[in-house]
A and B are shown apart, each in its own frame.
Chain A
């Protein structure tokens, strides 16, 4: 009996293998508390209320310096007003693939 046994890999398992090959540091349990904690935070944008209010006050006198090319950088004069805040990504923060 020399029949070759073909291993039937489910499509899900095949996809899992692909993912693990790309990101070897991926944690074993996707449902772990770290994963869910990130989900709870949903990629929220932080802002500094002090800087925001100072910027609002300054705007009355002069035009605020426009936001630099990196809209995610939030410091001092470059604090955006609510209108300028960039679109938020609703998914998890990028580190999910780093494990």
Chain B
């Protein structure tokens, strides 16, 4: 099924994917094994479970998709792993735990579970724990439902490890992980008269260190930073980030391509990154009037906007991610291409995630799109790009140079060459 979200956990040992069918698949990194040195770093399936099912809203006669929009891990506090997964309407907290021991020698029942006849029991014994084949169980621990009228696009776990936010097109809610029957509305941009609607919320995230700060992006290309200490309802922002636009270059497409599809804080908490249709921008939280860095992802698409509007590709929502040290950023494009930018050297590279171009353990060859004139060998022309092969979801290991790239219904995991 089509992968709709990819996320590493805090240690990078687990990688979760959600798909359009409401399923979650978790991969685990293999431990170092002297007898099989190449298996270090390989991710194998650890657990698979059905997180969401299709639902029907009887009141509005609407169908609610089971597609997983986002997965976010909670920091690990004990042997079990916890993650939040959400579809358009409902967020669920899942506990993934291992069981590798089983008790044997019960007094009141047989090994196969049948109750023993009490009159037959002549002696008491203490059950003993015996090892068993590893079993990974996923169980839903909390269901956070009925708090969103519109479609949930983001969830973000707070640095206090107690609360999280969920954002839909017009509202952002604050939840406590232990409380499912109540959530607090912190942002509401719904106008009294829907005819006056001018923008929607596209993404939201908590600051990695300051538990009172979060940001949300809009379809108009702006980002608002809010401080929950200043007021209960954060309709008034503390900071407003917008790059001034050249009015002479405005066109029918300007607002659509400026819509921000993803916003991510850097690990340091000093910067944030936004993805709009054609570029990725890095913002310094201390400077609101323009980004400090702008990277062109696929500028050659600017002269194709008409057809991209007709086939709806102009509305594709690409995500972006930082590497562990915030020195590099990555985002996807079309034709199963994805782009990586080194912030220090300013070098960028285009790579392809497809079966034809990559064999296991082979080194990826850089790709190049030819924009005009003569096409060199190995280059691909803009008109040959496959716009159905889009890489919307990518993730970077929190510490190492390992990346996960979702190409429609395939997951690719790449890592730095090991000597």
Contacts and interface: CB of A to CB of B under 8 A. Distances in A.
A39 B169 contact: yes
Given A33-B198, A36-B198, A10 B54 contact: no
Contacts of A12: 249, 251, 253-254, 302, 305
Contacts of A26: 252
Main secondary structure of the interface of A (DSSP, over half): helix
B288 interface: no
Interface in B47-68: 54, 56, 58, 61-63, 65
Contacts of B65: 88
B200 A82 contact: no
A89 B315 CA distance: 12
Interface string B313-350: 00100000000000000000000000000000000000
Interface in A67-95: 82, 85, 88-89, 91-92
A14 B315 contact: no
A30 B255 contact: yes
A5 interface: no
A85 B195 CA distance: 32
B310 interface: yes
Contacts of A92: 312, 315
Interface of B: 54, 56, 58, 61-63, 65, 150-151, 169-170, 194-200, 219-220, 249, 251-256, 302-306, 309-310, 312, 315
21 contacts: A12-B249, A14-B303, A15-B305, A16-B306, A26-B252, A30-B255, A33-B194, A33-B197, A36-B199, A36-B219, A39-B200, A40-B170, A42-B151, A45-B62, A47-B61, A47-B62, A49-B56, A82-B54, A82-B56, A85-B63, A91-B315
